[in-house]
Amino acid sequence: MVALVVGFVVVGSGVPAGAHQEWFVSDPEAYPLDLGALLRPGVVLAVAATVAVTVLLRPVAARLPAPELAVIKPARRLASFVPWVPRLLAAHLGVSLLVLAFDRAVLDPGIHVPDGAGGTLLLVPQAVVGGLLIAGVLVRAASVAIMLTGPLLVALQGPEALVTLAVFVGIAAFLFMLPPRLKDGGRTDLDPPTLRRAALGLKLGAGVTLISLAVVEKFANPAMARAMLEQEPLLNLLAPFGVSADAFAVVAGSVELLFGLLVISGALPQVVALLAAVPFTATLALFGATELLGHLPFYGVLLAFLVLGSREETSRALSGLRRRPRARIRSEALA
């Protein structure tokens, strides 16, 4: 099962999972959604396969030891960072918001405010929120401010933006329930009941964003996906084997959808974080700072998965699975 997931990653890493094609494709407004494209046989088969992989992975994960990467020496040291997860998430989100504000973008590199004083005023709250998150001050208030940006997003970009930027709401919900404590240098006590609720918001936010991007930029927008691959032909790693741009876009969308479902599932959080990091970082050299800044919140989520998955109790709160303790597995193997 893990091998199948790895296969999806290797094949699909040419198109960045979670990357907004609208950031890079020329004239993105020229490519409206085509919901009828969702009924293409290739798309239906891809969706069915990714759902099946996600469902089957949970019982497999329940039989594996937790944490799953404890055999790797550097991974064992991640447990010491568990109390810092809210601080790390706040820093990733805060840097993204602050730098995007200086670039006159609202939450997303593709959403820019109008020139002039009026547009600049719209960016002031975002810059303030970003600074508060970086400093670890008034994090709950900053989180509420992020969740109240919905009307502004609809006015600037339409209702679709609310779904594709759900990761911001997920991180904000997590930080509202588990804010870093300034008096403890940013450390937070992650009690399991609160962590379960906070992790649910984080998983849903990040997962919904990934799933929505797979739909609105690939499955239901083959014209945009085709234009992106024609604009950057190096992205289609399967072109030498005769795979068309349309077919590769379905493969790339499947990778994005798979990671969205796996993030929501929470099973094998460390494995999912490491595998998802491959397509998220594969094209940084091609797209540069725009992609890096746009993906910083997702990097924070993947880092949170990697760290929270390093302890059995926090991994269980993240996944909802009662996985077999590593010590018990060793004793069974020696019996």
Q: What is the pLDDT of residue 189?
A: 87
State the Cα–Cα distance between residues 259 and 18, nearest whole angstrom: 9
Q: Helix 312-319 and helix 192-214: axis angle, to 10°?
A: 50
State the Cα–Cα distance between residues 277 and 70, nearest whole angstrom: 19
Q: What is the pLDDT of residue 71?
A: 65
State the Cα–Cα distance between residues 93 and 157, nearest whole angstrom: 20
Q: What is the pLDDT of residue 281?
A: 81
Q: What is the pLDDT of residue 21?
A: 60
State the Cα–Cα distance between residues 316 and 30, nearest whole angstrom: 45
What is the three-state SS of 195-208?
Answer: HHHHHHHHHHHHHH
Distance of CA 173 to the CA centre of its chain: 15
- 213 C-beta neighbours (distance < 10 Å), count: 24
Domain carrying residue 64: 2-334
Q: Where are the beta strands (DSSP E) in 23-177?
A: 65-66
Q: What is the pLDDT of residue 81?
A: 92
Return the structure tokens found at 223.
């014209």
Return the structure tokens found at 42.
């290739």
Number of domains the chain is built from: 1
pLDDT tens-digit profile, the chain (335 residues) = 333 333 333 333 333 333 466 666 666 776 788 888 899 999 999 999 999 999 999 999 888 887 877 767 777 788 889 999 999 999 999 999 999 998 888 887 777 788 888 878 888 999 999 999 999 999 999 999 998 887 777 776 677 777 888 899 999 999 999 999 888 778 898 999 999 999 999 999 999 999 998 998 889 988 888 888 888 777 777 788 888 888 888 998 999 999 999 999 999 999 999 999 888 887 776 776 777 777 889 999 999 999 999 998 999 999 988 766 655 444 333 33
Q: Give the H or E element holding residue 301.
A: helix 289-308
The total number of residues written for the chain in this structure:
335
Q: Quick check: helix, strand or coil at residue 327? A: helix
Q: Quick check: helix, strand or coil at residue 122? A: helix
Q: What is the pLDDT of residue 119?
A: 79
pTM (predicted TM-score) = 0.84
Return the structure tokens found at 149.
């940006």
Q: What is the pLDDT of residue 14?
A: 36
Looking at the DSSP assignment, which residues form a beta bridge with residue 112? 105
Cis peptide bond upstream of 67, omega within 30:
yes
